Amino acid sequence: MSDRCVTASGKVAVVGSINADMRVGVERFPGPGETLAGGEATLTPGGKGANQALAAARCGAQVEMVGAVGNDPTAETALSLLSECVGLDGVVRRDILTGTAVVMVADSGENSIIVIAAANGSVDAASVHAQAERVGDADVVVCQGEIPRDGIAEAARCAERFVFNLAPVINVDPEVIRMADPLVVNEHEAALVAAALGSTTPRLEEDPDAALRELLDLGCRSVVITLGSAGCIIGGPEGFDSVPATKTVAVDTVGAGDAFVGALAAELARGRSLVEGCRFATAVATLTVTKSGAQASYPSIGEIENIRQGDQA
According to the model, what pLDDT value does residue 5 have? 66
Burial class (CB in 10 A: 0-12, 13-18, 19+), 140: buried
According to the model, what pLDDT value does residue 180 have? 98
Residue 110 to residues 25, 230, 233, 281, Cα–Cα distance (Å): 10, 15, 22, 20
Average pLDDT over residues 64-84: 96
pTM to 2 decimal places: 0.91
pLDDT band at 40 (very low <50, low <70, confident <90, very high): confident
Which positions are catalytic?
258
**Would you say 168 and 257 are in contact if contact means Cβ atoms under 8 Å apart?**
no
Count CB neighbours of 267 within 10 A. 27
Q: Which residues are annotated as a binding site for K(+)?
A: 252, 254, 288, 291, 293, 297
Average pLDDT over residues 126-131: 98
Domain boundaries, the chain: 49-66+123-310
Q: Which residues are annotated as a binding site?
A: 19-21, 47-51, 146, 186, 226-231, 252, 254, 257-258, 288, 291, 293, 297
Q: What does the DSSP 8-state code read for residue 253?
A: -
d(CA 12, CA 267) in angstroms, rounded, equals: 10
pLDDT digits (tens, 9 = 90+) for 236-295: 998 999 999 988 888 888 789 999 999 999 999 999 999 999 999 999 999 999 888 789
**Percent of the chain with pLDDT strictly greater than 90:** 79
φ, ψ (nearest 5 deg) of residue 280: -65, -45
According to the model, what pLDDT value does residue 139 have? 98
* Closest residue by Cα to residue 257 from 223, 221, 288, 215: 288
User: Is 1's pLDDT higher than 70?
Assistant: no
User: Is 21's pLDDT higher than 90?
Assistant: no
pLDDT digits (tens, 9 = 90+) for 133-155: 999 999 999 999 999 999 999 99
Count CB neighbours of 192 within 10 A. 19
What's the CATH fold of domain 49-66+123-310?
Answer: UDP-N-acetylmuramoyl-L-alanine:D-glutamate ligase (3.40.1190)
According to the model, what pLDDT value does residue 70 have? 97
Q: Which residues are annotated as a binding site for ATP?
A: 186, 226-231, 257-258
pLDDT digits (tens, 9 = 90+) for 163-217: 999 999 999 999 999 999 999 999 999 999 999 999 999 999 999 999 999 999 9
